[in-house]
Structure 1
């Protein structure tokens, strides 16, 4: 009953009203740095590489294609239980007819302070910051100024004053998270986090208008992993974000089953689940873990008012991740150390 109450309470946070935001992923748990730089390093191992590709709105417009690549490396600090994580987040997004393209290169750092000598329990503080570039293909832009009264005339000027169709700026984010294990033999784990993105309010105008800047964005994140038995477990994820007047709430439940005769040394894990982006999409998810590799596939079933045009078709996502050890001959957690993990 206690585990059931945890699941019910966790799902209730999905009831917050929301409106869709710009760049996002349905498999948001595969892009931890975009959620919160203080979520870097929450895995069992020394390093992790994750990539996600998203293809959206192919059913009725020029596709929105988004790709994310992040890499994390962590190591213990001194002789205590503290850890340090360095990471890099790369993002590429190309949207719409005018080919609005966004490229982000964001290094990140996260310090995990151990709060217990008896079990994994960490308070983490992370920072991420780097360069962002946005470009626009003016040859694909059409405006009302190119309407000659009877038809569209591409020879007419578009009337826009964009001289250089690119924007460059520095962007920064801060985050804090709490991560711990609980239950019998610390078999369960959970985390909560808070992040503040665009803390420097970067200028973001193709017209070079100094008054146009990005609103800061706050993100509240949480996750709980609860074992059912030696072979299966539930994982619950949820994020709530707010940027200016826009909000987004997404979360859901995944059920995983280990395949193999030994639950402590299993070659495969099969996962099924469903996510919900409130007032936007229902998202079935399938995932296969093969040793150190994880392969995930999801599809957005559009349930917003846009489904009249989209016929409920949203976008698909493909994710791939790898978790490894620097020393293949040792266990995932060095003797005497607790590992920040989820």
Structure 2
């Protein structure tokens, strides 16, 4: 069947990139709003608390054998000097470990730009820097040239046409971002918006032989939304995301609702739509400073025709902690939840 071959070539192209894209693009997340340091370094420490730890896991194209698996974890903290600090780690593997993309960043955000009554209108700016490591494992790597039409499968006795100039590469990387949000407590509508750019150093993409001069493109992101308080127990947060990296674009729009069940527990539910790609329903709950979220991407693109059940699953867990008991009469409104 040609369908099996198409699936294989599709996964291979996603790992290697193509001459049209000319460089690798980053993983994406449907629950981008719960993974702040991946989204924008200006979100470092933008929390109603003293520190935060977030973990996220994405399994993409689960119906395709050995698709993409991407775990990530971040931690950030607030200081008393208008400087917030954070660290972020992410690792993506594909094709059963044939491809690996690991990165680690430190981030810092300045939070002293405040205006309006009581300084609740805030602008933060952030910087991030770290290393990225990309690696191919030739022992687990096959190409479309090894597809045997008669056997309708891979034939490892057929030589590969692709030649990798090297199997691994490490490079320094940097990014920057800015964020505005209205942190006024007790308000009907609190808006937020941000912009970020990652891979400002544009590391070389050295893997394909003859690919001199190819670089990892800058990932530009614009994001925003508004928390609308419908009552003391119900709020809704519409949100928008636009990302561009090289020739790849992502546009996403959606909303989630937050229903207060008790002083310690909230329920969350909603959905995002990634244009020309997938719809992603989301459910979650908040309890005693923990937020658990689950989403499932239902593919709506042409990929679904080729791959069938080419869907993706995400789960996230966030803990926000405080060094001492909170004494504010009304909560600080964070731009994320």
Q: Deviations over 1:51-71 (max 9, x none)?
A: 110111121332210011011
**What's the offset of the Cα at 1:294?**
0.4
Verify the 8 A CA contact 2:98 2:141 in the aligned structure 1. Answer: no
Q: Distance in 1 between matches of 2:241 and 2:296?
A: 18
1:258 aligns with 2:251: no
Q: 2:37·2:88 contact (CA, 8 Å) conserved in 1?
A: yes
Distance (whole Å) between structure 2 residues aligned to residue 147 and residue 241 of structure 1: 34
**1:276-333 superposed Cα distances (whole Å, 9 cap, x missing partner):** 1111001110011011000000000110011123435411101000001122x34369
Question: 2:280 aligned to 280, 283, 289, which one?
Answer: 283
> 1:189, CA displacement in angstroms?
2.0
Map 1:175-254 to 2 at 5 A.
Answer: 175-181=177-183, 185-186=186-187, 188-207=189-208, 209-254=211-256
* Separation in 2, partners of 1:50, 1:144: 38
Q: Distance in 2 between matches of 1:287 and 1:219?
A: 25
SS at match of 2:70: strand
8 Å CA contact 1:64–1:95 kept in 2: the answer is yes
- 207-216 vs 191-200, which moves further: 207-216
1:180 Cα deviation after fit: 1.1
Q: Does the 8 Å CA contact 2:205/2:216 hold for their aligned counterparts?
A: yes
Match of 1:54 in 2: 58
After superposition, where does 1:124-143 map in structure 2 within 5 Å?
124-143=124-143
Contact 1:45 1:332 in 2 (8 A): no
Q: Give the aligned partner of residue 331 of structure 1.
A: 327
Give structure 1 stretches of 5+ with no counterpart. Answer: 1-18, 78-82, 261-265
Residue 120 of structure 1: aligned partner: 120
Q: Conserved in 2, the CA contact under 8 Å of 1:283 and 1:298?
A: yes
Contact 1:303/1:312 (CA < 8 Å) preserved in 2?
no
Decide whether aligned partners of structure 1 residues 101 and 40 sit closer, same or farther in structure 2, where only a CA change above 3 A counts.
Answer: same
Q: State the aligned residue count.
A: 308
1:10-40, Cα deviation, whole Å (9 max, x unpaired)? xxxxxxxxx9x64101101011122211122
Task: Name stretches of at least 5 consecutive residues in structure 2 with no aligned partner.
Answer: 1-20
Q: Which 4+ stretches in 1 moved above 6 angstroms?
A: 147-152
Structure 1 length as normaliser, TM-score? 0.82
Q: Equivalents in 2 of 1:332, 1:312: separation in Å? A: 48
Residue aligning to 2:107? 108
Q: What secondary structure, in the 3-state scheme, does the structure 2 residue paired with 1:341 have?
A: coil
Cα contact 2:85–2:109 (8 A) shared by 1: yes
SS at match of 1:185: coil
In 1, Cα distance between the equivalents of 2:260 and 2:148? 65
Q: What does residue 297 of structure 1 align with?
A: 294
Residue 278 to residue 164, structure 1, CA distance change in 2 (3 Å): same
Of 39-48 and 161-170, the range deviating more from structure 2: 161-170
